[in-house]
Amino acid sequence: MNKHLLQKVLLPTSTAGSLPKPSWLAQPETLWSPWKLQGEELADGKQDALRLSLQQQQLAGIDIVSDGEQTRQHFVTTFIEHLSGVDFNQRKTVRIRNRYDASVPTVVGPVSRPKPVFVEDAKFLRAQTSQPIKWALPGPMTMIDTLYDDHYKSREQLAWEFAKILNQEAKDLEAAGVDIIQFDEPAFNVFFDEVNEWGIKCLERAIEGLKCETAVHICYGYGIKANTDWKKTLGSEWRQYEAVFPKLQQSNIDIISLECHNSRVPLELLELIRGKKVMVGAIDVATDTIETAEQVAATLRKALQYVDADKLYPCTNCGMAPLSRDVATGKLNALAAGAEIVRNELLAR
């Protein structure tokens, strides 16, 4: 039913993923903050936070809702923690997306998923709402970039193994009633040759056989210093998308989620993925300044030159976990209001 529902709403709004966590669950305005609760209390706390996050989206009028990633500490490692073959006690320092050093776990043997990771959380979200729901998973290439591999010793092979595991999880999420499964692949913005050689192939392996909608989110990251410093090195025009769009356009993925507002991405690059549905980032997550509805509308109107109206999904540039609750709420409201302006313009034509 939700697939029909999605098709009936023009310019359905959603977020790229994360929203702020309540202060009793994790330290606010802090990325990847540790949990403040444990055991049973943590399990209950995550569910309560999910309810609040859902309500925050609903009150703002967001059409495609998510768990706001209240069940995850980190968008990649929380998933990997549930897999076997990865030792979190053996840590090595590696460079993440050529940008910053991080201490990461080691792949010590064949990777597998002993049991579903987010499926119970997704069922819980499904039970709270009849709106279309989106669930985010890390993409295979971004997963391998967050690990030290002492077993496969091949980025491509490890990514392929993760793609098979992600496909198992995705199929379970689909069965739990998830309407859109999104793979977060910021690594697609960095390793262009690998993306074209095997990254997109791995992504297609991860979505193999799915009947629900599938999305890939490719952004310039949270507004953390390592990312804003990196952005300063990218020059006046960010043409990273140009390297991967042609092959993505040919791929089986349904939706491409992109950073557009306040970024230096030339929007005409969207022409390269004409025919795909596009989640257009119309909210900047790297600033506390709340966009006006008119600013959101302006970004959407620009995108409409390259994206057909029935394929445009207004969205945020990336997750909003590091923002304050008030700022995030203001931005959600602006997103919904900006989409409403453009929706009315389209309907009046």
The residues of the shown chain that bind Zn ion, judged by CB under 5 A, are 219, 318
> Minimum Å distance from CB 114 to Zn ion?
28
- Separation between Cα atoms, residue 32 and residue 79, nearest integer Å: 13
Nearer to Zn ion, 119 or 327 (CB): 327
Distance in Å, CB of 290 to Zn ion, minimum: 19
Of 176 and 318, the one with the shorter C-beta distance to Zn ion is 318
By C-beta, is 283 or 342 nearer to Zn ion? 283
Half-sphere exposure of 229 (CA within 13 A, CB side): 6
In degrees, rounded to 5, the angle at the alpha carbon of residue 341 between the alpha carbons of residues 300 and 295 is: 50
* C-beta of 25 vs 219, nearer to Zn ion: 219
Q: How far is the CB of 146 from Zn ion (least distance, A)?
A: 14
| Of residues 278 and 318, the one with the C-beta less far from Zn ion | 318
Quote the least distance from Cβ 217 to Zn ion, whole Å. Answer: 5
- Between 136 and 170, whose beta carbon lies closer to Zn ion? 136
- Minimum CB separation of residue 87 from Zn ion in Å reads 27
Contact of 44 with 25, CB cutoff 8 Å: no
Q: Is residue 183 within 8 Å of residue 215, measured between CB atoms? A: yes
Edge-first strand listing for the sheet containing 213-218: 134-138, 180-184, 213-218, 255-259, 277-281, 312-315
User: From CA 15, how far away is CA 292, in angstroms rounded?
Assistant: 17
Contact in structure between 28 and 20 (CB atoms under 8 Å): yes
**Sign of torsion over alpha carbons 174, 178, 180, 185:** negative
Pull the structure tokens for residue 22.
Answer: 């309540």
Q: Which residue's CB is nearer to Zn ion, number 206 or number 318?
A: 318
3-state secondary structure of 305: coil
Minimum CB–partner distance for residue 52 and Zn ion (Å): 22
User: Would residue 347 be called left, alpha or beta, if left means φ above 0 and alpha means ψ between -120 and 50 degrees?
Assistant: alpha
CB of 184 to Zn ion, least distance (A): 6
The CA distances from residue 345 to 17, 162, 300, in Å, are 27, 44, 11
Q: Which is closer to Zn ion, CB of 106 or CB of 317?
A: 317
Cross-strand partners of 106: 87, 148
Smallest distance, Zn ion to C-beta of residue 259, A: 7
Q: Contact at 8 Å (CB) between 227 and 318?
A: no
